[in-house]
Structure 1
Amino acid sequence: MATQHVIGIAGVGKMGEALVRGLIVGRVVPASRILVSDAVPARAKEIAAKHGVTSRETVADLARESDILVLAAKPKDMPSLVAGIAGHVQRDGLVITLAAGVRTAFIEKALSGRGRVVRIMPNLACAVGEGATAFALGGTATEHDALVVEEIFGAIGRVTMVEEPMLDAVTGLSGSGPGFIAALAHSMIEGGVRSGLPRDVAYKLALQTMKGTAELLLIDGLEPMQLFRMVATPNGTTEAGWAVMERRGVPPAISDAIVAASNRAATLAAEVAKAHG
């Protein structure tokens, strides 16, 4: 059970803090069994005080005390972070890396065989128990490790195991997705305001519409365009709006944005491999 583990989170920026919050809200582990550290020690202390967890001054201390160690640094900071924990990771520990584009093989080589590595791509919605997470097992990770990851991240959203080469695409879709969805929400709100709604009313209606639509698709198992056809009637309001979206190239632009984000994740991986291979 995950509740029996000590989970250390190295790096408590936006994603790291979202994970801390999600673990506590989802009752994955008690706050007393969560340790945090950060390149800026004051940040770790701030998060510890805010969420009732424990901070450690160095990542080496964090690694020694955690049997599940989550590396939540940005890709560019991952080499220095891994160097800081090398030799300190528990030999039978589980290392979970969140960094976009950083391969499990890179982490495994840097750790010289200590611990087992799993690479995951969660998103910020983990903070409210609605995360979308995909993960891939490293070369020495086990089926039991997969069950542990599914237990932890399944408590704070939906989790799917994939082959590691797919994680660049996952990064573009669900990793970057909250940013794209938030931008879409902004545009919907602005449209509501331009049409005469007070901003607070437009805000509530737009966000609930997005949330409700996602739930409807998931619960009923519909393809998105099936639902679109259920809403759109000939010469109706939805068709009028859709005509503008098609004319402005919105549908392919959104698809292209996902591909661009996925390609960037692959580029980041190549840059890390070239610099530290």
Structure 2
Amino acid sequence: MRRNILITGCSSGIGRHCALTLAKRQDWRVFASARKTEDVEKLQKDGLSDALQLDLDSPTSIHSAMETVLAQTGGCLDALFNNGAYGQPGAVEDLSRDALRAQFESNVFGTQELTNTAIAIMRKDGGGRIIQNSSVLGFVCLKYRGAYNASKYALEALSDTMRLELAGTNIHIALIEPGPIVSAFRQNAATHFHRQIDTDTSAHHDAYVRMQEAWSKGASMPFALEPKAVYKNLLHALNARRPKLRYRVTIPTIAFWYLKRLLPCAWLDNILTRV
């Protein structure tokens, strides 16, 4: 029998690749979700017939999507891959309360509400898998990524806490921590940057100019991998008898994981400032 998985953020990048690739297997039924109706329709045209709309900013949308999944699976959900998120660039001093709230609504609050709903189902069924797509920025910080850094730190903290609270339930929590992955993430981040940040009056104006020039040129990201690198780890987290607690993807993630534990904070700050 096929197991059922719900994946968020499937309009592009990691979510889209993982949903399409996993759906080709015989052992998983994939419910791929996206925020926009047109993206859902595109997923359905590409063969993901169970694609559905799910907006993490909307509690109504979250619960409606889950009800749709349960109605089609007879009340069963074996796995949840929390991939949906976006990045809000900008110096911390330039972030309004609204900008921070919007970042957390999608990346933390909506994700956790969906996760709590999934946990209730998995408790009833005697187990399940919850895979969190975090980031290298879930344990180290880069400048001008403060809102995103904070949201991923929060995701990691909630995941670690849930793992302790769910001990003995056969509900496994795993974190995937990618470094740079080739996707539309940067283009989406640029959209949120222009929407939320007043560059003209900022003390960081010159840095913002350089950031926007890099975006416009489509500057490559060193060590970036294709989404299939994440899929490989997702598959292990879903199928292994004992999934890893953390999957570190790309050289920067692995390197910074060790550097954070070996270097004094001031030394690590000096490296991160130059990134």
TM-score after normalising by structure 2: 0.42
TM-score after normalising by structure 1: 0.42
